[in-house]
Amino acid sequence: MKEQHQQHLIMLYLAKNYIGVRMKSELYVVPPQLVHKYWHMAEPHLKLAIEKGNGEFELDDLRYVCSRGEQQLLMVMRDDKCHCALTTIQYNFPRFRQMYITYIGGKNTKDGWQQFLTWTQNQGCDRVTGSAVTESVAKLWAKMYGFESKYITVELKLNKEQNDT
């Protein structure tokens, strides 16, 4: 009888704590020397982000700079699956240190975002920035994360095609 009671308690514990309950998301900071090992998990999310960009990077370029430590690959994981991937660069300015999100894709979570902010502060940064390709993305970041619009970026291409016109 005692053994049955113990089994029942174990089943109740499992039912209460694991079955139908989402596991907490966890932020993984991928060291440059392990990018090759985990890239396949982040790639689908980053591919979508790169496709929305303006051609600054292709996927292989981004993997290369992350593997060299020029950018940092981070993944928000839950249940051994990558739900959000992002890449960052840190910039030092005379008056502050900034974490710049170069690409982000997938579905972030509140706890994943909070862990990212904690990690960012632990890196000595006092702000997070990123570039939104559309106004709707900027509004989404403002609503979800509290971002404020700071600049409007403009570009002048200095290539042969432009000089011929």
Q: Residue 159 has what pLDDT?
A: 80
User: Mean per-residue pLDDT for 41-59?
Assistant: 94
Does residue 50 have a pLDDT over 70? yes
The average pLDDT across 138-158 equals: 87
Q: Is residue 14 part of a domain?
A: no
Of residues 164 and 37, more confidently modeled? 37
> Do the domain assignments include residue 6?
no
Backbone angles phi, psi at 115, to 5 degrees: -65, -40
Mean pLDDT, residues 24-48 taken together: 96
102 close to 82: Cβ distance less than 8 angstroms: no
Q: What is the pTM of this model?
A: 0.79
Percent of the chain surpassing pLDDT 90: 59
Which domain, by its residues, includes 93? Answer: 23-163
Q: What is the CATH number of the domain that holds 154?
A: 3.40.630.30
**Structural domain total, the chain:** 1
| CA 22/CA 35 separation, integer angstroms | 27
The answer to the question of residue 81 being in a domain is: yes
Asked if residue 124 lies in contact with residue 97, where contact means CB atoms within 8 angstroms, the answer is yes
Flag whether 86 is in a domain.
yes
The reported pLDDT for the residue numbered 3 is: 56
For residue 15, being part of any structural domain is answered with no
Name, in order, each residue with C-beta under 8 angstroms of 98's C-beta and a sequence gap of 6 or more. 90, 91, 92, 125, 126, 127, 128, 129
pLDDT above 90: residue 108: no
Structure tokens at 21: 């309950």
Output the CA torsion 140→143→148→154 (10° steps): 10
For residue 17, being part of any structural domain is answered with no
Residue 90 resides in a domain: yes
Return d(Cα 155, Cα 159) in angstroms, integer.
Answer: 12
Residue 1 lies in a domain: no
Q: Write down the pLDDT at residue 12.
A: 42
pLDDT of residue 89: 98
